[in-house]
Every structure is written in structure tokens, then in C-alpha cells.
């Protein structure tokens, strides 16, 4: 799980384009047979993607959550898109 910590708005106004992208943009979240998660302290959210192709994937809590299972201390929502989706 990738962690994104909060930054000060006072500092952000001095960031160049590369630094802004490094801090706030997640370019790719879907990888074959992997779960990619990003935990953002800015919005206190975890977002990501999972693409099971040839194996079953298991969503683990990870050390960052300090929980026995992923939804022990957080609420979950999901949005599913298929390759045939027009978006």
C-alpha cells in the first residue's frame, strides 16, 4: 500500500508541476493479478484497483491500517468498470 501524507497549503503553492504530480496524481492503478492501493492522508481515503487475471486476489489490511482485516475500521465502497464500459 502506497502512503500519501498531507502537505501544507503554504508549501504547495511553491511546488512545480513535477512535484504537484508526484504528490497528487496516481497514474495507474490496474496491474494484472495485483491489488494496488493508495492511502491518502489528505482525504483520509484508500483507493485503488484490482485486476484478477489468472489468480484470485485477497484484500489484506496491511500494516498501515493496524487492523485484522481491511474493513475492520473503515467503510468500503466500490465502483466496478469492465472493458466494455463506455467511460
Q: Which residues of the chain have pLDDT under 70?
A: 81-87
Looking at residue 78, its pLDDT comes to 74
Looking at residue 87, its pLDDT comes to 46
Query: How many Å apart are CA 38 and CA 48, to the nearest integer?
Result: 6
39: cell is 492511502
Query: How many Å apart are CA 53 and CA 25, to the nearest integer?
Result: 26
Instruction: Give Cα 25 to chain centroid, integer Å.
Output: 11
CB 24 within 8 A of CB 43: no
Residue 45, helix vs strand vs coil: strand
Amino acid at each position: 500500500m502506497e502512503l500519501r501524507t498531507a502537505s501544507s497549503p503554504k508549501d504547495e503553492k511553491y511546488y512545480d508541476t513535477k512535484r504537484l504530480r508526484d504528490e497528487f496524481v496516481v497514474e495507474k492503478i490496474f496491474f494484472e493479478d495485483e491489488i494496488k492501493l493508495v492511502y491518502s492522508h489528505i482525504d483520509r481515503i484508500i483507493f485503488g484497483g484490482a485486476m484478477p487475471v489468472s489468480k484470485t486476489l485477497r484484500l489484506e489490511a496491511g500494516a498501515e491500517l493496524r487492523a485484522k482485516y481491511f474493513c475492520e475500521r473503515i467503510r468500503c465502497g466500490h465502483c466496478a468498470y469492465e472493458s466494455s464500459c463506455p467511460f
